[in-house]
Chains A and B, each alone.
Chain A
Amino acid sequence: MTPHDHACLPPRFPQARPSECPFDPPQDYQDWRRRDGLQRATLWNGSTAWVVTRYEDIRAVLSDPRVSADARNPGMPRLSPAGEDRTDQEPPFVRLDDPEHARQRRMLTADFTAKQAAALRPQVQRLVDEALDEMVRKGPPADLLTDFALPVPSRVIAVLLGVPYDDHPFFQSCSNKLLDMSLPAEEVRATSQAFGTYLYTLVESKAAEPGDDLLSRLLAERVETGELTRQQLVSMALLMLIAGHETTANTIALGTLALLRHPEQLALLRDTEDPAVIARAIEELLRYLSVVENVVVRVAVDDFTLAGEQIRAGDGLIISLPAGNRDTALLPDRPNALDITHNARAHLAFGFGVHQCLGQNLARTELQVAIPSLLRRLPSLALAVPFEEVSFRQQMSVYGVTRLPVTW
């Protein structure tokens, strides 16, 4: 069934990226962006919401005080059966509005500044080198996703938070399920609860054996002072653990694949030592790939007009970052092409407004170290299967590849 089968029903959301060019946003989204007005779309449960695809509209929505991110607001679009139907606990701060969102976020900002990220660079480099050593030692072929792209950011966030890396099979499988939109609500709920029990026990054990890590500090400095409840700390930890590795991992794997498809750009990036060139290339990859695909949703809490449409309080709004990042308003020159010399710095891959990614400096450091190190260490890196056989993460909140067999 195609989205247009029912003339009366608005098209479906989400849709799949085109198999001919799996880096591009779904074709419909690109069309909607070019048309006037805003598109309405039908979700899995038959409800409808506006889809915002234009660069300027997205920035307007994400900085409008009449728009709420609070998951408890009626009308908030639910992109999948599991879509946050927990009513018995406060959502994590990414799904809260100011002032409570700002209050919690401020407790973390000092740990995620550009300066902090720069200070972590040697440590990130060491973890990258270790992962590469290990992959090389095992020899080709390798799955770049599980042998490199996932371990690097998981280790980094585990060290920062103070989560034992030995537990990574558990927390990775939990994150994966929590981002999987095809799973039944019960399974996602059970996963989030098991993850919660894990983090609760971890936080409780931190109290007894405090380390020099973020969770220990938050416990001593925020929970014991009554600024955070234990539950808030657990959901904060869960948010950072998931947000902190899936996104970066998928950008590394998908980015490597995109570069392998554009060998001249790969060579350009591999052969430069210039940090400015590298930084620019990473911004372009972030923009071009926009892996945060089915995550950013909002609801209007007041009436207003957007792109000539009347939005009413209670209307759901879905933000398509991949579509917005291909808008000529961001990049007049060939927005659908990957060009690591593009100046893409104003992209939307990290979102926009008060919820703009807390971990963006860290993510940049990880990407700027991981991708060039990989290309330099393995100059003969190549896909180990035909491109057509690479399978992509469909029906996931964060886009990427499911495996990436490579050789060298």
Chain B
Amino acid sequence: MRRVVVVGASAAGLATAAALRQQGFGGLITMIGDEPHLPYDRPPLSKQVLTGQWDAERLLLRPESDLKAMNLDLRLGVSATAVDRTARTVTLAHGGTVPYDALVIATGVRPRLLPGGHGRPGVHVLRTREDALALRDRLGDGRRLVIIGGGFLGTEVAAAARQRGADVTIVESGAEPLARIIGRAAGRFITGIHRDRGVRILTGLKAETFDTADGAVTGVRLDDGRTLPADDVLVATGSVPNTDWLRGSGLDIDDGLLCDAHGRCAPGIHAAGDVARWFNPLFGRAIRVEHRTSASEQGIAVARDLLTPATPQPAAPVPYFWTDQYEVKVQSHGYLPGHEESAVLDGDLAEGRALIGYRRGRHLTGVLAIGMPAKDVRPWRAAVARRTEWAAVTSAPTPAR
């Protein structure tokens, strides 16, 4: 293997490249990214960047000179448009091709859009640095922000916008923001924090169209006929894997690139990060997680698999994410979507400090910690990793170390 091509120059792509170099790979690494920026971190976009605490410089994952020292053939502001698996080349937007011995796909996801409205002043999504700076500059005292979608992104932005004094409404089509992922009790708790801070939350309603005047958005029309006046609207209704450029490649791109437990999706091709749906032996199926930590974990695992393919180490990682909701830190270990039951295993939501367990089948498949120190949560992560029986955690809810 002499030439590795990484498509996507962000958390997962950079972790792959850094780990390859760190483990002594001396060959050529080409990293192709369609954003015109050096690799940067996204989680602060909806947090410190929106509140104005951080400027964009602080997002850089590595200083420029250190990236240079990694000796990367870094092609920024260029998108990959196709892969030819027979010739083993990647085609670039401006027409050139790049040959590879190994290809790593780390193209992430993009926001799912609502029909109509996008591109108009005042209508936002939040995925990139530009998105965050544009939204940041519009927030302020009394400015009306309507957020469509009460997931983690929507609720984090609501918190940041409230801190900037904006008037915030969340429109959620489900019964409770976040409930689909973390269950109703936890969802209700987090919703409660937002309501206490003055966020208006409308549930069971869908946004249908945007109202506009002079091309700019003035409001959002809901499916019950109501119109919410708005200076700005954030569409935060989930995301779509960036796999369009792989159409016709023969790769399985149904909800992300399907990979085995090593991140392999086809001979000579690996995928990592938000775009990848890795088989996880712990849960017995392939799951796609959009978590910052998984991006680097998978990137590092891919580098290892590229350098020592003869001794594969299948990964059975316990996914991890965190979210900040005002001063409350929420952390989760495991895989929560599609859970069949949840229960408070420690603490008490009424006291703002609780650990909630999630069951799918017979096992504890995930936990969510609200307002608990990381060290108290870690044993629960181990309990998920051990595939602890649900009956065991509900009867003696303190995990053995």
Interface residues of A, Cβ cutoff 8 Å to B: 86, 88-89, 189-190, 193-194, 196-198, 200-201, 204-205, 207-210, 212, 217, 220-221, 224-226, 229-231
Contact = CB atoms under 8 A, between A and B. Distances in A.
Contacts of B381: 210
Contact of B297 (A86, A190, A205, A217): A205
A210 B373 CA distance: 13
Nearest to B333: A210
Given A201-B300, A212-B378, A194 B69 contact: yes
Given A86-B63, A212-B375, A225-B329, A204 B296 contact: yes
B6 to A, nearest CB: 15
Interface string B363-382: 00000000001110010010
B22 A204 contact: no
B69 A197 contact: yes
A220 B324 CA distance: 12
A193 B69 contact: yes
A336 B74 CA distance: 57
B70 interface: yes
A221 B47 CA distance: 15
Contact of B70 (A197, A210, A230): A197
15 contacts: A89-B65, A193-B70, A194-B69, A197-B62, A201-B300, A204-B296, A204-B297, A205-B297, A208-B293, A208-B320, A210-B381, A212-B375, A217-B374, A225-B329, A229-B59
B44 interface: yes
Contact of B66 (A197, A217, A226): A197
A211 to B, nearest CB: 9
Interface stretch (B13-21, B219-227, B255-263): B13-21
Nearest to A89: B63
A139 to B, nearest CB: 34
B228 interface: no
Give the interface SS of chain B, mostly helix, strand, loop or mixed.
helix
Given A86-B65, A197-B18, A220 B374 contact: yes
B41 interface: yes
B62 A231 contact: yes
A226 B48 contact: yes
Interface in B59-83: 59-66, 69-70
Nearest to B44: A226
Given A200-B18, A217-B375, A208 B297 contact: yes
Nearest to A195: B66
Contacts of B66: 89, 193, 196-197, 200
Contacts of B245: none
Most chain A Cβ neighbours within 10 Å, of B47, B296, B331, B378: B296
Given A204-B15, A205-B296, A205-B297, A210 B65 contact: no
Contacts of B324: 224-226
Most chain B Cβ neighbours within 10 Å, of A190, A194, A196, A224: A224
B121 interface: no
A197 B48 contact: no
A190 B63 contact: no
Interface in B94-112: none
Contacts of B373: 221
Contact of A205 (B69, B300, B374): B300
Contacts of A189: 65, 69
Given A197-B69, A208-B296, A88 B322 contact: no
B164 interface: no
Nearest to A221: B374
Contact of A198 (B22, B43, B320): B22
Interface string B318-337: 00101010000101000000
A190 B70 CA distance: 9
B317 interface: yes
Pairs A-B, 5 closest by C-beta atoms? A208-B297, A193-B69, A204-B296, A89-B63, A220-B374
B47 A208 contact: no
A88 B48 contact: no
Contacts of A204: 15, 18, 296-297, 299-300
A224 B322 contact: yes
A184 to B, nearest CB: 15
Contacts of B37: none
B22 A190 contact: no
Interface in B264-303: 292-294, 296-297, 299-300
Contacts of B362: none
A88 B296 contact: no
Nearest to A234: B62
B53 interface: yes
A224 B293 CA distance: 11
A226 B53 contact: yes
B41 A230 contact: yes
